Amino acid sequence: MNFIFRNATLYDGSGADPVPNSDVLVSHDRITAIGTSLEANGAEEIDATGLALMPGIIDTHTHFDAQITWDSGVRPSPTLGVTTVVMGNCGFTIAPCKEADRDLVMKNLTQVEGMSLDALRAGIDWNFETFPEYVNMLRDKGVVPNVACFLGHSSIRTYVMGPAATERAATREEIDQMSAIVEQGMAAGAIGFATSTAPQHNGWGGVPMPSRLADDDELLALVQAMARSGRGIFMLTKGNRTDVPYLEELAKKTGRPIMIAALLHNSTNPTGTLDELARIADARARGQELWGQVSCCPLTMDFTLKSAYPLESFESWQPLMKLSGDDLKAKLKDPALRQAVKDELAQPAGVRLFNGEWHKIEITEAATDSYRALEHKTLAEIAEERGADPLDLMLDIAVDEDLETIFTAVLLNSDEDAVGKMLVHPAASVALSDAGAHLTFFCDAGFGLRLLGHWARDLGKMSMAAAVHELTGKPAGIYGIEGRGLVREGYAADLMLFDPETVGRGPKHRVFDLPAGAHRLSTDAVGVHGVWINGARVADQNGPVEHPNNTGEVLSGFAA
């Protein structure tokens, strides 16, 4: 099918100034001509007067690995302008996976990425064991957005070591087996290798995710295995052990770029993230390609005390992660437990989500009439009114309501002046939507629309052209995604048509469309008039449109 956009303001993804009154001709899945007053040759005409046209958004930090096996459209991302997703970040993948390990892998995802265990058990199509088989399955089933896959360290570790993956360092023989899997995965088209050393990344029952048990020898060997393909990017969510000097040395030894997550502003350590970006910039100046992954969204989470993700990096909280039901409620009443949490909160913040800012946690939804009047009040406000300690208050209310109380916490990235500086830092890459994960906690799949509307248009922290580049041409260059990310002749027709005056993301709302009836938070696009993936329209101004499930490609052969 051929169609042509008429009179669009064209943001080509390069960061160059927009070109008004542009025509863009699409033939089948490719952009074939760009100019003014182009010959249409019978192509369908789309009047873009007053609208802007840009490449589709490339979301480089998602966790759709499980969801895409039952939902080829990875809702809601395509309707929010996303035409390419990179999955497997932090190393939390579902391939490779032996049949005997499936339940453990699902339980770990339930804990570390806030997914519904019932939905995973009912929804995942396990028609694979190895990573190449997983990629082939996606190609056979078809996908809506373009998809690129990281090789996941925790999955590879579990595949080789079984239960010992969360207990000890690997032997030389086990490291060799893991290295062979990485080489096999890169040959099958993986975009790179991903891991996590972050202390907040815990699996089922509070046990550290497998990648956190890896020593330096293992990490080096696996990144070297990736590098032997001559391509690929190493991505990690870092902890204190894997600091920037360590990663700079790793980049020197392997010759591969490194994407470092997750750099979020912490108001209790106001210069910490900018200092980290400065260290990354220094490493770049010395010739090593390091990037700091930042977010344009405040990290806001809905949670209950059944799974108190904001507190799970606390040592004092670890015993609670093995409990549920009455046992968990009994422990939450324990004065010794409460004092231990308070003592830890009083210590200087390290790498953790919550830092005692009780004015940033509110009761969003009470489960009983007894506490309904407290909805939308912060714990700091209620504690002051009642002369209570805010931690005691939160735990008492939760226990009284059988742990059904829904709290909302604004955890990180709430200082807009600081975040604005991070977004324009030359060593930063804007991403961290976490789309596909933490589905009951938040939905940042519309991060790109927020960057365009809130940060570029409303606050003027960057130009609209710079914001478009940050979402398109820049990640395509960093990750080596060839033929996408720019509006150029011969490039894939991954495109978004939008109104610059209104573009943004709508309010969050809860939907019940996951397998087994599980719910998730979602958001709608504002000001988006159309999204095309490889020339196929997947959304208009009213939301998703009917389309085949094979509009996208499973990408491979990256040359970054």
Site of tokens 């809860």 = 510
Q: What mean pLDDT comes out for the span 4-22?
A: 98
For residue 381, the surrounding DSSP H or E stretch is helix 379-386
Q: Is the pLDDT of residue 102 over 60?
A: yes
pLDDT recorded at residue 550: 82
Residues near 230 by beta carbon (within 8 Å), at least 6 away in sequence? none
Type of residue at 195: T
- 355 vs 176, residue with greater confidence: 176
Chain length of the chain: 560
Collapsing DSSP to helix, strand or coil, 552 comes out as: coil
How remote is the C-alpha of 99 from its chain's centroid? 27
559 confidence band (pLDDT: 50, 70, 90): very low
The answer to whether the peptide bond before residue 319 is cis (omega within 30 degrees of 0) is no
Residue 560 CB neighbours (<10 A):
17
For residue 160, the surrounding DSSP H or E stretch is helix 153-161
β-sheet bridge partners, residue 303: 407
**Structural contact between residues 537 and 530, judged by C-beta atoms closer than 8 angstroms:** yes
pLDDT tens track for 523-532: 999 999 999 9
pLDDT recorded at residue 558: 54
Q: What mean pLDDT comes out for the span 282-308?
A: 94
Question: d(Cα 203, Cα 205) in Å, to the nearest integer?
Answer: 6
111 confidence band (pLDDT: 50, 70, 90): confident
pLDDT tens track for 314-329: 999 999 988 999 999 9
Within 13 Å of residue 133, how many CA atoms lie on the same side as its CB? 12
- 348 vs 187, residue with greater confidence: 187
Question: d(Cα 147, Cα 73) in Å, to the nearest integer?
Answer: 11
Question: d(Cα 480, Cα 4) in Å, to the nearest integer?
Answer: 28
Q: What mean pLDDT comes out for the span 476-484?
A: 96
514 confidence band (pLDDT: 50, 70, 90): very high
How remote is the C-alpha of 148 from its chain's centroid? 13
Share of the chain above pLDDT 70, in %: 99
Instruction: Report long-range pairs for 537-542 (Cβ below 8 Å, ≥24 apart).
Output: 538/73, 538/78, 538/79, 538/144, 539/78, 539/79
**Structural contact between residues 439 and 63, judged by C-beta atoms closer than 8 angstroms:** no
Distances (CA, A) of 12 to 20, 40, 44, 446: 11, 20, 21, 20
Q: Is 201 exposed, middle or buried (0-12, 13-18, 19+ CB in 10 A)?
A: buried
Q: Is the pLDDT of residue 265 over 60?
A: yes
350 confidence band (pLDDT: 50, 70, 90): low
Six-digit token pair at 550?
Answer: 């094979």
Question: d(Cα 318, Cα 320) in Å, to the nearest integer?
Answer: 5
Share of the chain above pLDDT 90, in %: 86
Q: Is 289 exposed, middle or buried (0-12, 13-18, 19+ CB in 10 A)?
A: middle
Instruction: List, as one string, the DSSP characters of 79-93.
Output: GGTEEEEEE-GGG--
Instruction: List, as one string, the DSSP characters of 319-340.
Output: GGGG--HHHHHHHHT-HHHHHH
pLDDT recorded at residue 212: 97
* End-to-end C-alpha distance for the chain, whole angstroms: 32
pLDDT recorded at residue 355: 86
pLDDT recorded at residue 310: 87
Six-digit token pair at 46?
Answer: 């789309």
Instruction: List, as one string, the DSSP characters of 469-537.
Output: HHHTHHHHHHHT-TT-SS--TTSB--EEEE-TTT-EE---EEE--SGGG--EEE--EESEEEEEETTEE
Q: Average model confidence (pLDDT) for the chain?
A: 95
pLDDT recorded at residue 5: 98
- Dihedrals phi, psi of 536, to nearest 5 degrees: -100, 130
pLDDT recorded at residue 349: 61
Question: d(Cα 158, Cα 129) in Å, to the nearest integer?
Answer: 12
Question: d(Cα 126, Cα 367) in Å, to the nearest integer?
Answer: 37
Q: What mean pLDDT comes out for the span 133-148?
A: 96
DSSP one-letter code for 549: T
Provide the sign of the torsion angle of the four alpha carbons 294, 295, 300, 305, taken in this order: negative
pLDDT tens track for 31-84: 999 999 999 888 999 999 999 999 999 999 999 999 999 999 999 999 999 999
Q: Is the pLDDT of residue 351 over 60?
A: no
**Structural contact between residues 164 and 134, judged by C-beta atoms closer than 8 angstroms:** no
Question: d(Cα 451, Cα 518) in Å, to the nearest integer?
Answer: 30
Q: Is the pLDDT of residue 165 over 70?
A: yes
β-sheet bridge partners, residue 412: 299
Residue 330 CB neighbours (<10 A):
12
**pTM of full prediction above 0.85:** yes
For residue 454, the surrounding DSSP H or E stretch is none
560 confidence band (pLDDT: 50, 70, 90): very low
Question: d(Cα 156, Cα 150) in Å, to the nearest integer?
Answer: 11
**Which domains, and CATH codes, for the chain?**
57-298+413-478 (3.20.20.140), 301-411 (no CATH)
- Dihedrals phi, psi of 233, to nearest 5 degrees: -120, 140
